[in-house]
Structure 1
């Protein structure tokens, strides 16, 4: 029935009457608030039933404004609820009344009254699509208040109930801002699974517009927090690279180099793979790596790009100071200095060992476990454990003979593959023989023709 009322045409225009009545009621309210409200409510009934939208809007706004100015807050809360529930109430009028109530929220200094008003407005807005934006904004204010008072779980519950991605009337920038706040609340509450789900609601293509770059930076910093908990170093590297590629970051010298340093360190910490290797090679071509603050980071990157063994003791001696303390003019990112600094440093050592084992597979087919232990500067048990881990992840092929302690990197050839190779070789040989036979026949024909021509000329 309510939807039918919204499309009805205005039956009577009360705009003239309302224009006269409102100033009179405002003046009367200075001495008799209740009398003024009664007149306005009587007028509201007439305008509502006549579907005079603009007049109804003005009456409702005037009612709540008079009660607010008179500081009759209990009466104000009752009237907001009552007016919104009137039979055949007009949506536009309710929207205007709620919007006016939101202005009161910004003006109120008394927190008790302020949050009572917010609760009243939120209850009125619940289930009404036409005031979903106002309800979302009020919920954000309430959630911020609960967060400030240490009620983080309640604040998170309030925020995640808002499905703002479905709000068609909300500005896209405001919508993304709400989703980012939902991510932040969930991260602060250590709800990483929900954060991951919420992050999927934002398309990174939205950040292509330069006016959205402040939101872009917020998004990627939140994603870095999320992936840092998951230990997804390659994803963290991509996030820092997206930050680095942002014009506002590139225009700032210190921010640019800090982001690029993080890119280099996290790609070194990332687990080896095709994508990681490709990303590392592409980063190494960045011209900014040749700048003075980045020279040490470029040399670290080249260690992993070169097919040579990396000495962990030499790396530790050369890079510890740079990566952990740096200098005032060239500070390092907090990869190795923050709470997870020791974890990251241990991970870097693992990546060095993995790199060295991959290098060995290129130079050796069989090698003693003791020799590997010397080259890697690790106990034999740790070397065996590292080899097993890389084999399990299918990064290398290796087999360890437990009796002789010989490690074999030579992958046995599959019988089907051997037959396929033999077939290809035989086909190639037959094609070569056929081509050779054709050339011989061609030479015979040429000489035969030449001899026949010479004999004819002699005659």
Structure 2
């Protein structure tokens, strides 16, 4: 056991002496100019209580020194005594904690910003490396980060807050930890540090959001996650974030917020590249009864769910205006807003429509002429070939283009092993049917024999 962890037994109880001294000091402090005289009485008393290991009395003396400095508006003197007293030999942890907590309460009572910054810096220096005041250090750092951000120093604010590893703090309340981590994420996004934002986001256990009292933090978390994944165009992740946002009771209870959240879920789902997970999510979402309140979006979802071609001209005619501009009674989302990001997402939406049509064609056709494929997709032949090449590269579909014959073959050539396996399965299926048929014939013959 190290010296810092060893329990120190109190030798003498100075509580009555401290009571008397503080009473005398209170009388003296009615004249604020007598601060030095008061400190001359308290500093020797602090040494006595510290030497006797009377933590409670030492803490009271330290707190009194801070209070008297504040009463006399002697901020410089307060800073000096905080540093000096915390460095005294064998200073007691409980006493330092009490002093730091008292000084922390005075941070917001400082007369100007310069004084405030000096006090925060003093307290941060004193609390460095001391686990027993790690919570106070974290809160002070948060105040300092807020000041920097207010001055437009977002980078400095983010860096100073990133120093805190609040997830390792054993005594900090879970909600406060979440608030610190979310603030770290917000500042990292503010300075466009998306990689660090993602690292911090993984420190948050989303099970903590199951408690209703943490739902405000849950909404804030998913708003930050949406901002982060939109930057990387991870549309399916954005869709899932909006689904968690939508599933929050306080959102579902507000009709307008519920509809807007559900619209975002649908649009980012349709923007997501096709895969098994996306398809499963689409079919489950289609069962949501709240889709009845946004019929146009339900119709859009139905188009992607149905195994039929979606004509782009039909999309422009039936959906473009409502998706981009909304209606008088139903506001549009910001997904396809009239800016660079909105225009890029509209282009991505067209790509998803084409990809959907390509998959449908691969399902119903074995061979098709390039010109016919381009006509069905409302594209030029070169564009159609480009889209097809991308889908084949992504292994979404299997296809080959014979450019001399201008024919696209969707059927994949099977390997000998696959052909043999298919033949074996078919043969087993045939033998099972034959055996079942023989069994039924024997049964009929037996029944007929009994009757005759």
TM range (shorter): over 0.9
Change beyond 3 A, Cα 1:258–1:436: closer
Q: Which residue of 2 aligns with 1:66?
A: 68
Alignment of 1:318 with 2:318, yes or no, is yes
Structure 2 distance, partners of 1:370, 1:449, is 68
Q: The residue matched to 2:401 in structure 1 has which SS? A: strand
Q: Which residue of 2 aligns with 1:456?
A: none
Structure 2 distance, partners of 1:313, 1:438, is 58
Aligned pairs (5 A) from 1:110-129: 110-129=112-131
Aligned pairs (5 A) from 1:60-99: 60-99=62-101
Change beyond 3 A, Cα 1:425–1:309: closer
Q: Which residue of 2 aligns with 1:12?
A: 12
Displacement after TM superposition at 1:6 (Å)? 5.2
Structure 1 distance, partners of 2:445, 2:69, is 117
Report the structure number with the largest CA radius of gyration: 1
Change beyond 3 A, Cα 1:450–1:283: closer
Q: The residue matched to 1:400 in structure 2 has which SS? A: strand
Alignment of 1:348 with 2:343, yes or no, is no
Q: Which residue of 1 aligns with 2:204?
A: 202
Aligned pairs (5 A) from 1:401-440: 401-430=402-431
Structure 2 distance, partners of 1:195, 1:172, is 20
Displacement after TM superposition at 1:434 (Å)? 5.9
Q: Which residue of 1 aligns with 2:337?
A: 337
Q: Which residue of 1 aligns with 2:327?
A: 327
**Where do 5+ consecutive residues of structure 1 fail to align?**
452-459
Structure 2 distance, partners of 1:185, 1:143, is 9
Q: The residue matched to 2:319 in structure 1 has which SS? A: helix
Structure 2 distance, partners of 1:35, 1:419, is 101
Displacement after TM superposition at 1:326 (Å)? 1.2
Q: The residue matched to 1:150 in structure 2 has which SS? A: coil
Q: 1:262-298 CA distances to partner (integer Å, 9 max, x unpaired)?
A: 111111111111111111111111111112xx01111
Aligned pairs (5 A) from 1:22-37: 22-29=22-29, 30-37=32-39
Q: 1:306-360 CA distances to partner (integer Å, 9 max, x unpaired)?
A: 1111111221122222111113431111001164100110011000110111111
Aligned pairs (5 A) from 1:357-376: 357-376=358-377
Structure 2 distance, partners of 1:233, 1:420, is 38
Q: 1:198-230 CA distances to partner (integer Å, 9 max, x unpaired)?
A: 000111111111110000000000000000001
Structure 2 distance, partners of 1:334, 1:99, is 46
Change beyond 3 A, Cα 1:338–1:433: closer
Q: Which residue of 1 aligns with 2:153?
A: 151
Aligned pairs (5 A) from 1:273-312: 273-291=275-293, 294-312=294-312
On the 8 A contact 1:180/1:219 being kept in 2, the answer is yes
On the 8 A contact 1:2/1:89 being kept in 2, the answer is no
On the 8 A contact 1:5/1:88 being kept in 2, the answer is no
Structure 2 distance, partners of 1:254, 1:290, is 14
Q: The residue matched to 1:47 in structure 2 has which SS? A: helix
Displacement after TM superposition at 1:414 (Å)? 1.9
Q: Which residue of 1 aligns with 2:397?
A: 396
Structure 2 distance, partners of 1:2, 1:91, is 14
Structure 2 distance, partners of 1:246, 1:283, is 16
For structure 1, which segment, 183-192 or 74-83, has the greater mean C-alpha deviation from structure 2 after superposition?
74-83
Structure 1 distance, partners of 2:392, 2:79, is 69
Q: The residue matched to 2:106 in structure 1 has which SS? A: helix
Q: 1:202-259 CA distances to partner (integer Å, 9 max, x unpaired)?
A: 1111111111000000000000000000101111111111111111111111111110
- Aligned pairs, how many? 449
Displacement after TM superposition at 1:422 (Å)? 2.3
Q: Which residue of 1 aligns with 2:141?
A: 139
Q: The residue matched to 1:32 in structure 2 has which SS? A: helix
**Where do 5+ consecutive residues of structure 2 fail to align?**
none
TM value normalised by structure 2:
0.95
Aligned pairs (5 A) from 1:371-382: 371-382=372-383
Displacement after TM superposition at 1:148 (Å)? 1.2
Alignment of 1:185 with 2:187, yes or no, is yes
Structure 1 distance, partners of 2:2, 2:85, is 14
Q: Which residue of 2 aligns with 1:384?
A: 385
Displacement after TM superposition at 1:361 (Å)? 1.0
Displacement after TM superposition at 1:16 (Å)? 0.3
For structure 1, which segment, 24-33 or 435-444, has the greater mean C-alpha deviation from structure 2 after superposition?
435-444
Q: The residue matched to 2:408 in structure 1 has which SS? A: strand
Structure 2 distance, partners of 1:327, 1:60, is 66
Given candidates 26, 43, 57, the residue that maps to 1:55 is 57
Q: Which residue of 2 aligns with 1:263?
A: 265
Change beyond 3 A, Cα 1:5–1:275: closer
For structure 1, which segment, 421-430 or 268-277, has the greater mean C-alpha deviation from structure 2 after superposition?
421-430
Structure 2 distance, partners of 1:260, 1:441, is 60
Structure 1 distance, partners of 2:166, 2:440, is 77
